[in-house]
Amino acid sequence: MFGTFTGLQGNVFDQLNRLQRELDESFGLWPQAAELRAPGWGSWPPINIGATAERVDVYLFAPGLDAAELDINIQRNLLTVAGQRRLERGEKQRWYRTERHSGEFRRAVTLPEDVDPERVDASYRDGVLHVSVQRRASSQPRRISIS
């Protein structure tokens, strides 16, 4: 309907979308998530989830945390990670832009139904929290021999 205007760098509508995102970030507004537990754009800490036949691995990228203050819970197949990152800021400094998140956070992730909440390991190294949840033995493929 409107076509593409190229008088600016890129498409005018791309520029307007970028401006909208920057304004939303400035005022702490995030778009609504599509699902109940889905994070909004810019959720922190970012998460990667991978799965094999034996386990599900969750990686949270969160440098600058005290591992002793992390609260990791699993109930059935809902994994919850909560904590806080404190940033030291000078009292007399005036901040024009801050891109590093600080404060409390909570992330909830729904895992596959066949995970075993009794077999969970967690480690925090180099700013990455790794939570490994084993799958139930009953969900593993089993070879059946012919007699």
* Same-domain check for residues 21 and 46: no
pLDDT, residue 9, reads 53
Q: What residues contact 98, with CB distance under 8 A and at least 6 apart?
A: none
Count how many domains the chain has: 2
Task: Report d(CA 108, CA 64) in Å as an integer.
Answer: 20
Q: Which of 46-50, 102-106, 125-129 has the lowest mean pLDDT?
A: 102-106
* Same-domain check for residues 71 and 115: yes
Question: Does 58 fall in a domain?
Answer: yes
* Same-domain check for residues 13 and 62: no
Confidence grade of residue 34 (pLDDT, cut at 50, 70, 90): very low
CATH number at residue 113: 2.60.40.790
CB distance 105 to 44 below 8 Å: yes
pLDDT 10s digits, 84-123: 988 777 778 887 777 777 788 999 999 999 999 999 999 9
Residue 77: closest CA among 119, 137, 140: 119
